[in-house]
């Protein structure tokens, strides 16, 4: 008899605990608001480099690895400005 009472008690506690945890999880998510900064910071556009001969474009890291010389035809890599949005 004692075994059945403990089993029934454990089952009742398990049923009570699950909705309570789910309710508190939903409540904490509902109250959490995203933090906004005072000023929105625009990401800095990465500098790209372009070969003067073949017009192949390289990232800044790749251009530095190649010593600012194009691996395709040996042209000079010059920095290009990113397109501006209007």
**Residue 82: predicted pLDDT:** 73
Query: Burial letters for 24-59: b for 16+ Cβ neighbours within 10 Å, e otherwise?
Result: eeeeeeeeeeeeeeeeeeeeeeeebbbbeeeeeebe
pLDDT, tens digit (0-9, with 9 covering 90-100), for 14-72:
666 555 555 555 555 555 666 666 666 666 667 899 999 999 999 999 999 999 999 98
| 0.75 exceeded by pTM | no
Radius of gyration of the chain (CA): 31
Distance, CA of 14 to CA of 22 (rounded, Å): 13
Name the one residue in this structure whose structure tokens are 């605990």: 17
């Amino acid at each position: 008899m004692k075994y059945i009472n403990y089993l029934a008690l454990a089952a009742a506690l398990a049923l009570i605990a699950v909705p309570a945890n789910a309710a508190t999880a939903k409540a904490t998510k509902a109250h959490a608001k995203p933090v906004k900064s005072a000023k929105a910071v625009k990401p800095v556009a990465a500098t790209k480099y372009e070969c003067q001969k073949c017009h192949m474009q390289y990232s800044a890291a790749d251009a530095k690895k190649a010593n600012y010389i194009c691996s395709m035809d040996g042209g000079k890599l010059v920095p290009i400005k990113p397109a501006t949005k209007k």
